[in-house]
Amino acid sequence: MKNPVLTFTPNGIYCAAGDFYIDPWRPVDRALITHGHADHARAGHSRYLATRTAAPVMRHRLGNISIETTGYGRQLSIGDAIVSFHPAGHVPGSAQIRVEVGGEIWVASGDYKTEEDGLSDPFEPVRCHSFITESTFGLPAFRWDTQEQVAQDLNAWWASCAAQGKTALLGAYALGKAQRLMRMLDHNIGPILTHGAVEATNTVLRAEGIDLPATVLVTGDTNIKDHPGAIVLAPPSALGSAWARKLGPHSTGFASGWMRLRGIRRRRAVDRGFVVSDHADWTGLNSAIRDTGAENIYVTHGYTDIFTRHLNEKGYNASIVTTEFQGEDADEADMP
């Protein structure tokens, strides 16, 4: 029996043939990173490899790291492994990592979504023998509305807030989701204001040539009355904070796949929940796995038990692997 191309170790997903790790959670010598969220791109590694778009976000978060970059689809020889990065559709610069050793192909998906969002490079299925998939939303209950429907609902809420003389405060991850939402907004309703964590990410992405609408940073000197009809985008941790209270009368919204579950909407105590995620829903997970052609599926973070059982019933050789990835956490701690 062949040695596996990738193994699951206490440090992370390891390739012995190339002596590197994929999204390791403990310090290693060489780390290949799928994207810039904090549960996948961690500090402490000696050398990093990521896509050209992911690298500036990682430098912003991690400081002066030693990082090489690559483009999508470019094949690299690392030791006895052939490696390439392919669009994951999760956030700008996100990638699936394909690893080939002796003709055996494995793909580590990182986080991904199959819906085109107009911001990230769209997800591309990669044929392989073994596929490591997330299962953040691996339940049939999680099926996303179209982006057009979400945009319609979002703008109707914002317009209603503006008509009532309230500021609309919308919670979303600072990397990826906030920028996706900005591009869904009807800029005729009012100005778009941002929390510092969101605006810092905007600055990095604009420097990469990503087109984002005009925004105004909320500072200690900002008088919200000077911005009538505004919507403010902020990380989830800012909702209900002293920072938010300085905005005066406002209505809170929260953008997350978890808003599909009524109990979590109540727990978050927000006025409006918008079901939008940068992770694949039930349909997306199943279609992505089918399109890889893989027989062996390794399921990480999320509804691993239920989703693995479902895959085995469909004829795959599926098993659960333990990682320290979080996906889109139900408590939605911010990932800058």
Q: Are 46 and 193 in the same domain?
A: no
Please state the domain count of the chain: 2
Is 325 inside any structural domain? Answer: no
In one-letter notation, the amino acid at residue 295 is: E
Residues 291-328: tens digit of each pLDDT: 999 999 999 999 999 999 999 999 999 999 999 898 87
Cα end-to-end span (Å), the chain? 43
Q: Are 229 and 251 in contact (CB under 8 A)?
A: no
Specify whether 241 is located in the same domain as 316: no
229 in the same domain as 151: yes
Q: Is residue 2 a part of any domain in this protein?
A: no
Q: What percentage of the chain exceeds 90 in pLDDT?
A: 92
pLDDT attached to residue 336 = 33
pLDDT tens, residue by residue, 121-143:
999 999 999 999 999 999 999 99
The CA distance from 153 to 248, in Å, is 23
Closest C-alpha to 139, from 226, 13, 238, 258: 258
Q: Residue 63 and residue 37: Cα distance in Å, rounded?
A: 14
Q: Which pLDDT belongs to residue 267?
A: 74
> Are 176 and 196 members of one domain?
yes
- Specify if 262 maps to a domain: yes
Q: Are residues 267 and 182 in the same domain?
A: yes
Do 294 and 270 reside in the same domain of the chain? no
- Whether this prediction's pTM lies above 0.85 is answered by yes
Together in a domain, 128 and 176: no
Residue 91 is part of which domain span? 7-141+279-320
Answer with the residue of higher pLDDT: 264 or 274.
274
Please indicate, yes or no, whether residues 40 and 114 belong to a single structural domain of this protein.
yes
Could you tell me if residue 1 is inside a domain?
Answer: no
Whether residues 175 and 265 share a domain: the answer is yes
